[in-house]
Structure 1
Amino acid sequence: MTTLSASLVTLFLLSIITISHATTITVVNNCDYTVWAAADPGGGKRLDKGNTWNVNPAPGTKMARIWGRTGCNFDGNGNGNCQTGGCGKLVCNPGNWGTIPKTLFEYALAQPNNPTDTIDISLIEGFNIPISFSPTSNSGSLSGKCRTLRCTADINGQCPRNWKVPGGCHNPCTTQGIGTCGANGDSKFYKQRCPDAYSFPKDDQSSTFACPSGTNYRLTFCP
């Protein structure tokens, strides 16, 4: 086989591998209000009720986030501010993860040393919108670690007064640097209401989930 032929075969095989492990995350707004979704990588998009947005991260993407922004106003150039989660633009710049408080979905797609996607919902930066996150394909079993995750409690309505801000609820042990972090600290308020979600930084055991590489997902605001 010539060098050129071998190279073409290699490229073809790599393309098959890439396609077979491609991931699509469908973001759905089921809220009665507009949500300006943000993703890193991915940018941002306005979602009125019932609208969807497909985020297509590259294989091997890690340290990735998706969140919702509320109460936003943008000018014709896409610059502006939001009541919660804002990054200063409609399409957020890479590495600009928005203001707190906000409900976060975090993920890392399969790596060479880890054949599974790692996923979680995080309330470490507080809460602004109820969400759920579900595998929609190729979920497998993984001992129950690949399943729908939810944080749907009325946290904004139940938020302690000194944590409350317009449109959201702080997690004081992390966002304000006060109180105590841990299973029995102030973060217990969140853990009791959203047991699937991270409520403090070392809450890995009960809050980190995994799905097979190539799984597609659906993230729903106000499920």
Structure 2
Amino acid sequence: MAKKQQLAVALLVVAVAVVAARTAAAAATKLTMHNLCTYPVWPLVTPNTGFPSISGNNVRLDGGGRGLVSYDFPASFWAGRVVARTGCAGGAPSRCETGSAPPATVVQLVVHSPEGGQDLAAYSVSLVDGFNVPAVVSPQAVGGGQCPALGCAADLNDRCPRSQRVVGAGGAVVACRGTAGYFKERCPLTRTTGSDVEPVPQRCLAPGELKIVFCQPSMVAAVPGLIRTVVANI
């Protein structure tokens, strides 16, 4: 009987250690946003209904690579979206030219999905609601699986059809309503309709970080030292 009890205790200790390790790994998962645009952006991180907020949504990310921020995801299942607001005024910010409403580029994120007993992340960049800022999302420190960089590195405002442009106070085109065909042709690694999916497989296991880069020069980050990873809370 004593040996059976000892074995049971040993198995329990192992189980607790495994759960603790998984929880620690999940707790370390971060959302990082880095702004390489020539202009500032104010990221708006919105959880889906029923999930907690992870950002106060009052951070300004200066352009040229200076703007960088990181937040912890909850250790449990979480889903939400990120939009880059531009042309904002006020300290909150209270008024923005783009991002508070369509048309806007939307980054969709899911972390710690327990599908099949695995810690899965899912992510995409949606242009269903239009476009305002180039955005690329890529996982870092992944635990395995298929984790492609997805999104749009092109500035779709520059050739936006005239009738679909949103013009800012300074006279520049700041957003594009566009069409699914226009968006998909220039940015095939995005979603442009409600049923659209990217033409690459995705099954990303336990990434330590999901990184969103605004105005990344290309879909492949090939600028050493410019695109950085944050490991501390801000």
TM > 0.5: yes
For residues 193-215 of structure 1, give each alpha carbon's deviation from its aligned partner in whole angstroms, at most 9, with x where no partner exists. Answer: 11000011100353773311243
User: What is the aligned counterpart of 1:27 among 13, 33, 55?
Assistant: 33
Q: Tell me if structure 2 keeps the 8 A contact 1:137–1:215.
A: yes
2-structure distance, mates of 1:59, 1:158: 42
Q: How does 1:187-202 map to 2 (within 5 A)?
A: 187-202=180-195
User: What is the aligned counterpart of 2:137 among 116, 130, 133?
Assistant: 133
What SS does the corresponding residue of 1:162 show, helix, strand or coil?
helix
Which residue does 1:67 correspond to in 2?
83
Which residue does 1:85 correspond to in 2?
99
Shift of 1:60: 3.4
- Quickly say closer, same or farther: Cα 1:134–1:123, change in 2 above 3 A: same
The normalised TM-score by structure 2 is 0.71
Q: Which moved more, 1:100-109 or 1:213-222?
A: 213-222
For residues 57-76 of structure 1, give each alpha carbon's deviation from its aligned partner in whole angstroms, at most 9, with x where no partner exists. Answer: 1133333111200000114x
Which residue does 1:53 correspond to in 2?
69
What SS does the corresponding residue of 2:83 show, helix, strand or coil?
strand
Whether 1:124 and 2:121 are equivalent positions in the alignment is: no
Q: Tell me if structure 1 keeps the 8 A contact 2:124–2:151.
A: no
Whether 1:18 and 2:32 are equivalent positions in the alignment is: no
Which residue does 2:155 correspond to in 1?
154
Q: Which moved more, 1:106-115 or 1:162-171?
A: 106-115
- Quickly say closer, same or farther: Cα 1:48–1:31, change in 2 above 3 A: same
Shift of 1:127: 0.5
1-structure distance, mates of 2:68, 2:89: 20
- Quickly say closer, same or farther: Cα 1:151–1:126, change in 2 above 3 A: same
2-structure distance, mates of 1:161, 1:210: 38
Q: Tell me if structure 1 keeps the 8 A contact 2:54–2:73.
A: yes
2-structure distance, mates of 1:16, 1:209: 25
- Quickly say closer, same or farther: Cα 1:154–1:53, change in 2 above 3 A: same
Shift of 1:12: 6.7
% identical aligned pairs: 28
Q: Tell me if structure 2 keeps the 8 A contact 1:119–1:210.
A: no
User: What is the aligned counterpart of 1:111 among 102, 113, 118?
Assistant: 113
The normalised TM-score by structure 1 is 0.74
Q: Tell me if structure 2 keeps the 8 A contact 1:66–1:105.
A: yes
Q: Say which one has the larger Rg.
A: 2
Which residue does 2:166 correspond to in 1?
165
Q: Tell me if structure 2 keeps the 8 A contact 1:101–1:170.
A: yes
- Quickly say closer, same or farther: Cα 1:13–1:136, change in 2 above 3 A: closer
- Quickly say closer, same or farther: Cα 1:207–1:104, change in 2 above 3 A: farther
Q: What is the aligned residue count?
A: 188
User: What is the aligned counterpart of 2:214 among 199, 218, 221?
Assistant: 221
* Superposed CA RMSD: 2.6
Note the residue ranges of structure 2 that are not aligned, 5 or more in a row: 47-52, 168-173, 217-234
For residues 161-190 of structure 1, give each alpha carbon's deviation from its aligned partner in whole angstroms, at most 9, with x where no partner exists. Answer: 12111210114xxxxxxxxxxxxxx41111
- Quickly say closer, same or farther: Cα 1:19–1:214, change in 2 above 3 A: farther
Whether 1:39 and 2:50 are equivalent positions in the alignment is: no
What SS does the corresponding residue of 2:142 show, helix, strand or coil?
coil
Q: Tell me if structure 1 keeps the 8 A contact 2:131–2:156.
A: yes
